[in-house]
Chains A and B, each alone.
Chain A
Amino acid sequence: MSLDTLGIVALEILNSITILVLLALGLALIFGMMRIVNLAQGEFSTAGAFTVLTAVRYAHLPLWAGMLLAPLVVGAIGIAIERLIIRRLYGRPLDVMLATWGVSLLLIGLITVIFGAVTQGIPFALGNFQVGRYSYPEYRIVMTSVAASLMLGVYLLFRYTAFGRRARATIANPQMASAAGINTPRMFMLTFGLGAGLAGAAGAIMAPIVGVVPTMGVLYIARAFITVVVGGPVVLLGTLSSASVLGFIEALISRFSLFKIGTGGHCAPPPCEISIGGSAFFGQIALLIFAIVLLRLLPQGLSGFWRERE
């Protein structure tokens, strides 16, 4: 394997990790903090992508404005859903899961009613750069930096702000937090909204490189959940470590099986996201098998394993 192949494989691994982090961060936040399995998370991402589409296509805003708008819009949707539905179901984890699944089907239906069931693209103007013989899209590097700053932002928010302290107190002991004067229902609502907003941001960032279609959330939800489950109880550390391990495996196996199929190392210009969707299914199957076996060995997930060792 020559040096530039090595470099491109490393970049693809980085890209896989980035995508998993983006997909799983909001989900891990909601699941880790509130113990809620939010099956509508994929559709929150879809809503984010459609916000960007609407902003760029119909309101003629610049792309970055649409991307800034997406988490706000989706966060508002998330807060509305928390108030209307999820609030009534706290303490019934399976029922929350079913209700959010219903919400996800309703969202897919509504988005299809409004935008139609066609795949739409979002034009953007970033080129490729050369790694030896290969060219690689610059946009993926942007994605990686956005994912990193989102993680850092969540860390800072929960570690150093008053909101973060109250939220952590609420999660640790709701009764005590409530007795100490914290408005706990409000904290749950905001945390859910934040998780939804992160999903919206993820959808917005992915929108230019994938086809925007009402059912796009379905493609990601399985991998996002696997990442969260493998990550275990600690939100940020778990997400990062499991995304790293799983992204590494997925990228390597996808790459390997792609070579076998004969697509070669070359990738046509920008809108060719090979690591998402059908063509990389060997990678996804490897991901699932690895996750199931890993959970047999480490039932608490990666971060739970580390926590036990300490």
Chain B
Amino acid sequence: MRRPSSTEALAALLLLLPLLAVPWAFKPYTANVLAVYMIYGILALSLSLIWGYAGIMSFGQTAFFGIGAYAYGAIGLNLVHRTHQTHLALLGGLLAATLLAAVVGYFMFYGRISDVYASIITMALTLVLFAFAVSTGGDEWVIGVARFGGFNGMFGQGESSQNIANFQIPPVTVWLPGMAAPFPFKINRESAAGYFLVLGVSGVMYVLARALLASRLGRVAIGIRENEARVASLGYDTRFYKLALFTIAGAIAGLAGMLFAAWGRFVNPDRFGLGFAASTVVYVLLGGRTTLLGGFVGAAIMGYLTSYLAEIVPFGTIPGDTAPWIAALMEGTRRIVREAPLLVQGAVLVGVVLALEDGITPPLFRLLKRHARWGWWIVLPAVIFYFGHRIACQQADLCLY
């Protein structure tokens, strides 16, 4: 194994320090938004694990994400009022995603379905699950108190006099034997526990994925990406290794899905939809498919860009006395901006494939490597100063500007 260089330590510091400081430096809204970017980042990590390293392009990581979310929701809604924790729901969601990945992976890899076909099968999987989730609107689609709800998403049902919060999917809640009361991981003005949970899981998943790639499984996977026939001729059962990695990636995607359901306290069929599947691929492609960090970077960039574009409405109301052609131009611009998230995603897909095959993380990292000294002496102190000031400003009103 390569020893971690000082550049990697610098990169880790530059990423970790701001992320750790966020709950004190900004309002809870920022922590909330960053948490969901990181959740998408975990999903993207699962995709780059199998796509970047084993060469299996899965268009349907969202299938495992959604299954994890729905299973966590269904079990959590039913059990949280009785047991006051969501341990079983977490286990159930993880199991559901792992099992689905294992079964689909078995049929794909032992059927020797190769690269492009595997993409199509996984894509069809998530689209069919979408169609299924959409059509569960009726009264017969209820597990205990959890109602699937079709397009409207999953909700609990019960006495109408109860608090509305009881009908939502519970946050991750831990109640271990030694603890006096259950501890829910929420993100609000009082607590940033949910944020740190997501940050911690992201970090653990990243380290785990790195360890996995350094292990025998990871090295065989990279061999399969480079030349599957040669790896097979060396006596490795490539089908098994592909299945193992695919299943692990499915489990990670399921974990991300559970965190998502617990974060938003809600899940609807859109998590299976083509739009979300496309976003996931865009995150990985933009961030760089051969780096494990790339997915997080891509998710943050695309997440920020699309939510920014979705919020702006150019020109407000168009005044009545505007010349017709100017009004038409304004209306056209407004329509384009309204569809911007989709257009940006499409443009990024085409653009990155045509012009920037490795995504943006490797060039950024090269830049950091070349100017590591500047990074240590200028960028890092600047970041520390900025966040220190933010914290002082937010917590004690010590604002310099």
Q: Which parts of B106-151 form the interface with A (CB within 8 Å)?
A: 107-108, 110-113, 115-117, 119-121, 123-125, 127-128, 131-132, 134-135
**Chain B residues, Cβ within 8 Å of A119:** none
A189 at the interface (CB under 8 A from B): no
B346 at the interface (CB under 8 A from A): yes
A108 near B347: Cβ-Cβ < 8 Å: no
B123 near A295: Cβ-Cβ < 8 Å: no
Main secondary structure on B side of the interface with A: helix
A113 touching B348 in the complex, CB below 8 Å, given contacts A85-B354, A106-B343, A225-B123:
no
B368 at the interface (CB under 8 A from A): no
Give which listed residue, B110, B115, B128, contacts A288 with CB less than 8 A: B128
B342 near A105: Cβ-Cβ < 8 Å: yes
B132 near A85: Cβ-Cβ < 8 Å: no
B349 at the interface (CB under 8 A from A): yes
A279 near B107: Cβ-Cβ < 8 Å: no
**Chain B residues, Cβ within 8 Å of A291:** 121, 124
A104 at the interface (CB under 8 A from B): yes
Residue of A nearest to B336 (CB): A113
Residue of B nearest to A215 (CB): B274
A94 at the interface (CB under 8 A from B): yes
* Cα of A127 to Cα of B108 in the assembled complex, Å: 45
**Chain B residues, Cβ within 8 Å of A297:** 111
B353 at the interface (CB under 8 A from A): yes
A-B residue pair count with CB separations less than 8 angstroms: 124
Give which listed residue, B113, B119, B342, B354, contacts A97 with CB less than 8 A: B119
B123 near A222: Cβ-Cβ < 8 Å: yes
Q: Which parts of A68-108 form the interface with B (CB within 8 Å)?
A: 85, 88-89, 93-95, 97-99, 101-108
**Chain B residues, Cβ within 8 Å of A110:** 339, 343
B278 at the interface (CB under 8 A from A): yes
**Chain B residues, Cβ within 8 Å of A88:** 354
CB of A198, distance to nearest CB on chain B (Å): 19
Question: Max chain B CB contacts within 10 Å: which of A89, A94, A101?
Answer: A101
A98 near B107: Cβ-Cβ < 8 Å: no
B345 near A105: Cβ-Cβ < 8 Å: yes
A85 touching B350 in the complex, CB below 8 Å, given contacts A222-B127, A288-B125, A293-B107:
yes
Interface size on B, residues (CB 8 A): 44
* Cα of A222 to Cα of B149 in the assembled complex, Å: 24
Residue of A nearest to B334 (CB): A113
Q: Which parts of A129-171 form the interface with B (CB within 8 Å)?
A: none
Question: Max chain A CB contacts within 10 Å: which of B112, B339, B347?
Answer: B339
Give which listed residue, B121, B278, B357, contacts A101 with CB less than 8 A: B278
**Chain A residues, Cβ within 8 Å of B274:** 218
Residue of B nearest to A295 (CB): B111
Interface size on A, residues (CB 8 A): 42
Contact with A along B53-66 (1 / 0, CB 8 A): 00001000000000
A99 near B116: Cβ-Cβ < 8 Å: no
A109 at the interface (CB under 8 A from B): yes
**Chain A residues, Cβ within 8 Å of B120:** 37, 225-226, 229
**Chain B residues, Cβ within 8 Å of A218:** 127, 274
* Cα of A109 to Cα of B347 in the assembled complex, Å: 11
Q: Which parts of A43-82 form the interface with B (CB within 8 Å)?
A: none
**Chain A residues, Cβ within 8 Å of B79:** none
**Chain A residues, Cβ within 8 Å of B357:** 95
**Chain A residues, Cβ within 8 Å of B112:** 299
Residue of B nearest to A217 (CB): B274
A105 touching B111 in the complex, CB below 8 Å, given contacts A94-B119, A225-B120:
no
B350 near A285: Cβ-Cβ < 8 Å: no
Q: Which parts of A277-301 form the interface with B (CB within 8 Å)?
A: 278-279, 281, 284-285, 288, 291-293, 295-297, 299
* Cα of A113 to Cα of B131 in the assembled complex, Å: 26
CB of A215, distance to nearest CB on chain B (Å): 9
A183 at the interface (CB under 8 A from B): no
* Cα of A113 to Cα of B334 in the assembled complex, Å: 9
Give which listed residue, A116, A285, A295, contacts B107 with CB less than 8 A: A295
Give which listed residue, A89, A225, A281, contacts B124 with CB less than 8 A: A225
* Cα of A278 to Cα of B127 in the assembled complex, Å: 11
* Cα of A288 to Cα of B123 in the assembled complex, Å: 11
**Chain B residues, Cβ within 8 Å of A128:** none
Residue of A nearest to B277 (CB): A101
A106 near B346: Cβ-Cβ < 8 Å: yes
CB of B298, distance to nearest CB on chain A (Å): 13
**Chain A residues, Cβ within 8 Å of B278:** 101, 105
B373 at the interface (CB under 8 A from A): no
**Chain A residues, Cβ within 8 Å of B335:** 112-113, 116
Question: Max chain B CB contacts within 10 Å: which of A97, A103, A105, A279?
Answer: A105
Give which listed residue, B135, B336, B346, contacts A281 with CB less than 8 A: B135
B314 at the interface (CB under 8 A from A): no
B101 at the interface (CB under 8 A from A): no
B203 at the interface (CB under 8 A from A): no
A102 near B349: Cβ-Cβ < 8 Å: yes
B264 at the interface (CB under 8 A from A): no
**Chain A residues, Cβ within 8 Å of B343:** 105-106, 109-110
A105 touching B346 in the complex, CB below 8 Å, given contacts A225-B124, A278-B134, A288-B124:
yes
Point out residues on B near A: beta carbons under 8 Å.
57, 104, 107-108, 110-113, 115-117, 119-121, 123-125, 127-128, 131-132, 134-135, 274, 278, 281, 285, 332, 335-336, 338-339, 342-343, 345-351, 353-354, 357
Point out residues on A near B: beta carbons under 8 Å.
37, 85, 88-89, 93-95, 97-99, 101-110, 112-113, 116, 218, 221-222, 225-226, 229, 278-279, 281, 284-285, 288, 291-293, 295-297, 299
Between-chain CB contacts (< 8 Å), 8 pairs: A103-B346, A105-B342, A105-B343, A107-B346, A278-B134, A292-B111, A295-B108, A296-B111
Nearest first, the 5 A-B pairs at minimum CB distance are A102-B349, A105-B346, A106-B346, A102-B350, A296-B111
